[in-house]
């Protein structure tokens, strides 16, 4: 089971990202633990400066903007880049653009 956290303080993009991940997991029949993280101090611990951020099994895989359905499907199928969205770098405002 994958653990996914959506990081964001409650903006529409963060809510949309959460919904898209839920829908994709249901459509694929994949069980996920999905958590919405809204506490700014916790978001900052991941180094995410642009939300929504997505953390998959403890690793930042996305920051800033709503991820595409293809990207979400990749995370769920396990084909996402294991080094994160930035090739292993901390997700910053320049990440994932």
Residues catalogued as catalytic: 11, 14
**Among 80, 65, 90, CA closest to 14:** 65
Beta strand 2-7 with 32-37 is: parallel
Residues 18, 71, 89, CA angle at the centre, nearest 5°? Answer: 95
């Amino acid at each position: 089971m994958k653990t996914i956290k959506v990081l964001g303080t409650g903006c529409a993009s963060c809510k949309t990202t959460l919904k898209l991940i839920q829908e994709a997991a249901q459509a694929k029949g994949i069980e996920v633990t999905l958590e919405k993280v809204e506490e700014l101090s916790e978001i900052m611990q991941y180094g995410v400066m642009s939300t929504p951020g997505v953390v998959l099994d403890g690793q930042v895989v996305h920051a800033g903007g709503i991820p595409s359905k293809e990207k979400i499907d990749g995370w769920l199928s396990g084909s996402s880049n294991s080094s994160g969205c930035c090739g292993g770098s901390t997700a910053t405002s320049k990440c994932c653009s």
